[in-house]
Structure 1
Amino acid sequence: MKGAVAAGHPLTAEAGARILAAGGNAVDACIAAAVVSWVAESPLTGPGGGGFMLVHRARDRSDRVLDFFVTVPGRGLAAGEGGEMEAVDVAFDVEALQTFRVGAASVAVPGTVAGLAEAHRLYAKLPWAELFAPALETARKGVRLNESQAVLHAILDPVLRYGAEARRIYGEDRGLGAGDVIPTGDLGTTLEVLAAEGERAFYEGELGRQISEALRADGGRVTDEDLAAYRVIRRTPVRAAYRGREFVSNPPPSSGGVLIAFALRVLDVAGESGAFGTPEAISSLAEAMREATRARAGSFAGDLYRGGLSGRLLSETRIREAAAKIRAAVRDAVAEPAGAPSTTHVSVVDAAGNAASLSASLGCGSGVVVSGTGVQLNNMLGEEDLNPDGRAVPGRRLTSMMAPSLVLEQGRPRLVVGSAGSIRLRAAILQIVVDVVRHGMSVDEAIAAPRIHLDDGRLHLEGGFDPALAGALSERGYDAFSWRERNLYFGGVSAVALLQSGALQAAGDPRRGGAGVVVA
């Protein structure tokens, strides 16, 4: 087998598979898939956002995270210069609205193009321009919305159609629905420029100037100096043992990876009991989630930017304290900030055993599309959980919950996984790892299996569990809420598994119309 790809859209997965079939490695395939996702999954990702790629290189069994998340803009500007963000309500789940801040003032300095270029320099085999070919073809044909995408468009409609240029693309009088085609001509032109000129076009060239000038004219703070100064950071991933395997993920200053690692270690030390979907198994998971949320309290947000957080959080003493609480099952209400469902993920393994796990996002989007470019821009400055300090020092990296991850066995990838879902992606990844490693599920089974999420003392149970489960958990003291059916509220996982036999499995999340492709 030449490899496998899992992603948030069939066109995204097929692009990665095409590159593997052409002799590309895992990173080549991941880059090509990511660029197609800009076209096929435009509300979720694009050159105007940021993200992370975790790469495992088989020849030396090394793991590295490329951090290309967004930074605070404002180089060359006076403090307070620029406009104000505008509040927009987004119905990101069935129970509540959340207010996001959008507009040009919400845009942080994008890093995605730089990140893919850095990955190409370090790891790729095929020419840069060749990796853009699938996306250029997709842009020329246009993308017809499927049912899952239509749901996302409906959720994000107040943002997608916020600005005049955005309305031209996503619908003047009404939002796009299932079967409608997204106009991708301008984005196709931008892809041609990036394929020919590389990242310099975005950070030092005319394309970058178009973006900064459009934002500055509308009250934004992204300047030419911000774009020219942007750099990708190479990071050492966080690691944690779980049931004889090693979980590897995105380190601080992002929070998702270290919190998943913490929850897995706590489960390992506390001991897990019960088959999948039983009250015992669900209780263990819920309490591990609760302990991970407790770990975010106090100085956690500031500690993400200080050295040593991973070591302190994953210390034997801290883990044993949390494990003791799980065994005692102390239940209290711990709330987390909600988030929009605006992330996508690509997982790839190639024939040589190299692996790439990429998560990228626009936040919920700023509602700003730069005229003539098709580039939709992020709103990361407007998301309080990412930017709690408001306008921080220009150049500062924002934190993120995104957690592209691997599970290694004897130094070799067994699972490549990540998820969309904002704050809930942490719970989704945790459950996939537990379902595959502990319960022995295939990735198809694990991704299709119902999930839970604990928030503010309420235990959400996705549709698909035994109807008696909610009552059994209520008897254990939980405020259990049963959903009628499967829902994108519970994340959007893309995962590839490499079995002991050498066989590959790949699956995207049906909650978001994802897909997996194994290349023979």
Structure 2
Amino acid sequence: MEYALKKWGTLSLSEIIKPSIELAQKGIPVSSSLAKLLKVEQENLAQWDSTKAIFLKNNIPLQEGDLLIQKDLANSLKLIAENGSQVFYNGEIGQKIVAEIQRHNGIITAEDLRNYKVIERAPIVGEYRGYKIITMPPPSSGGIHIVEMLNMLEHYPMGSYGVNSAQSIHYMAEAMKLAYADRSEYLGDPDFTNVPVSGLISKKYANELVKTISPNLARPSNTIKPNNPIPYESNQTTHYSTVDQYGNAVAVTYTLNFNFGSGIVAAGTGILLNNEMDDFSSKPGVPNGFGLIGGSANAIQGKKRPLSSMSPTIVLKNNQPWLITGSPGGSRIITTVLQTIINSIDYNMNPAESASTSRIHHQWLPDELDIEKGISADTIRLLKQQGYNIKQKATMGRTQTIQILPDGFYGYSDPRSPDGATKGY
């Protein structure tokens, strides 16, 4: 973080962190949605004394209106502001994190933290109907498969089908199946496995994939296997999008995996430890916590970074930032961002219209088409006739989107996120 800010930013690290320190120190009011979440997670959070001290009071989760005060986190942020990232990897904070992990029989050592290095990678770049798509590279699968699906959908006049018509949903679902099948085989940490990036995002590869898509029948997932992109070679999360007055744009997605990660706070730090090990493939063909299937490319290995679905994305129009978006949602992040791009380009929606539109999701296995409320009964009937196994699910994704138009900036926080907000300065 410190490196990136020094290289790209205009403010010092201490200036950037100061508001966060104040919020942690003085506390933030617990919202209705956070209170409900704490109640759901009570059993997990109550297991750990360091966690319980922050999120529970008298063994009861904090209630709506209570102040969530995180003094240890404020102190950790102060140390980072004063000393930079090394205090985290090779100093007081790191020592406390390692001590906490080893208290629970974990295997991370001080040397592991000390040797950790942030890697800056080139983004995935694609094109859809004349717009440039700039998105996240491996070890996230998000960027590759968004571009892969857009390459397939470019073959169809999506705009003329209508938003969430049976025809538009059908083509999106079939493209999703093919992309998630490839995800299971080819995606992993590029430092450990040869990810055929240029093949997967090749338009020629997409040309071959669309030949397998019927215009009116759902293809059973058990007939779909990962395809061969080689000849074409030339999981709860937070997202925010930011644009400044000069048109500089940032899309950021970060995650602990599940709501509170492992649920364990490293004592004396206020820092929750993640449970990102779930993002590895523990065994080929065995689903993870989001039902995703993985293979040997994403097998557990020392010093390896796990596969994710994070998809912070910037869309350029005439080589200038036009749409900045991203979402939490585990395996549904990829399809949520895909639909945000399609809504914006094919259906000419603004961020509010796009975020308020019902979403669908298909991840190859299990063979089911997930839909939100709001898809018409007639459309569902047609999709069932085509062979889809329809499952109505809870809300999918929580986008934070900014659109840059000649007359100004348009931003919208997904209504699925009750604590999200849009703000201009």
Q: TM-score, normalised by structure 2?
A: 0.85
Question: Unaligned regions of 5+ residues in structure 1, if any?
Answer: 1-115, 336-340
Q: Which residue number corresponds to residue 135 of structure 1?
A: 20
Please give the alpha-carbon distance, in whole angstroms, between the structure 1 residues aligned to 2:183 and 2:138: 13
Where does residue 399 of structure 2 map in the other structure? Answer: 493
Cα shift at 1:306? 3.4
More strand by share: 1
CA separation of 1:317/1:473 partners in 2, compared to 1, >3 Å: closer, same or farther?
same
Note the C-alpha offset of 1:345.
0.6
1:223 matched to which residue of 2?
109
Question: Paired residue for 1:369?
Answer: 265
Aligned equivalent of 1:470 = 380
- What is the aligned partner in structure 2 of residue 257 from structure 1? 143
Judged with a 3 Å threshold, the aligned counterparts in structure 2 of structure 1 residues 160 and 265 are, in CA distance, closer, same or farther, namely farther
Indicate conservation of the 8 Å contact 1:252/1:309, yes or no: no
- The CA deviation string for residues 444-489 of structure 1, in whole angstroms up to 9 with x for no partner, is 1111211111252222221123333222221222222345xxx44x
1:465 counterpart letter in structure 2: I
Q: 1: CA distance between counterparts of 2:383 and 2:7?
A: 49
Alignment-derived partner of residue 122 in structure 1: 7
Cα pair 2:141 2:187 within 8 Å, conserved = no
Alignment of 1:258-407 (within 5 A): 258-272=144-158, 273-301=160-188, 305-307=192-194, 309-328=196-215, 329-333=217-221, 342-364=236-258, 365-385=261-281, 392-407=300-315
C-alpha separation in 2, matches of 1:288 and 1:444: 25
Q: Deviations over 1:163-213 (max 9, x none)?
A: 221122222634344334323122112122111112121111112112112
Aligned pairs, how many? 394
Q: Structure 1 153/267 Cα, relative in aligned 2: closer, same or farther at 3 Å?
A: farther
How far apart in 2 are the matches of 1:120 and 1:139? 21
1:248 is matched with which residue: 119, 134, 138?
A: 134
Distance (whole Å) between structure 1 residues aligned to residue 174 and residue 40 of structure 2:
30
Q: Which has the higher contact order (CA 8 A, sep 6+)?
A: 1
Cα distance in 2 for partners of 1:304, 1:322 equals: 27
CA distance in 2, matches of 1:247, 1:156: 37
8 A contact 1:148–1:511 mirrored in 2: no
CA distance in 1, matches of 2:299, 2:204: 36
2:262 alignment partner AA:
S
Match of 2:95 in 1: 209
Q: Helix, strand or coil: the match of 2:7? A: helix
Residues 398-437 of structure 1 aligned to structure 2 (within 5 Å): 398-437=306-345
Q: Is the 8 A contact 2:46 2:59 kept in 1?
A: no
Per the alignment, residue 30 of structure 2 pairs with: 145
CA-CA distance at 1:504 after TM superposition: 0.4
Q: Which stretch shows the higher mean deviation, 160-169 or 387-396?
A: 387-396
AA aligned to 1:289 is: M
Partner SS for 2:315: strand
| Amino acid across the alignment from 2:265 | V
Q: Quick check: 1:194 aligned with 2:80?
A: yes
Taking the aligned partners of 1:232 and 1:386, their CA distance within structure 2 comes to 24
| Distance change (3 Å), C-alpha of 1:130 and 1:375 | same
> Which amino acid letter does the alignment assign opposite residue 337 of structure 2?
I
- 1:465–1:238 Cα change, 3 Å: same
Which deviates more, 422-431 or 127-136? 127-136
Instruction: Give unpaired runs (5+ residues) of structure 2.
Output: 225-234, 284-293
Normalising by structure 1, report the TM-score: 0.71
Q: Alpha carbon RMSD of aligned pairs, Å?
A: 2.5
- Aligned equivalents of 2:147, 2:40: Cα separation in 1: 31
The CA distance in 2 between the partners of 1:476 and 1:330, in whole Å, is 6
- Equivalence map 1:424-463=2 (5 Å): 424-455=332-363, 456-463=366-373
CA distance in 1, matches of 2:280, 2:86: 31
1:290-320 CA-to-partner distances (Å, cap 9, x unmatched) read: 1211222445458784345111112233201
Q: Which SS does the other structure have where 2:323 is aligned?
A: strand
Cα distance in 2 for residues equivalent to 1:225 and 1:188: 25
1:511 matched to 2:401? The reply is: no
8 Å CA contact retained: 1:270, 1:323: no
Secondary structure at the residue paired with 2:423?
strand
The question of whether the paired residues in 1 share the 8 Å contact of 2:178 and 2:209 is answered with yes
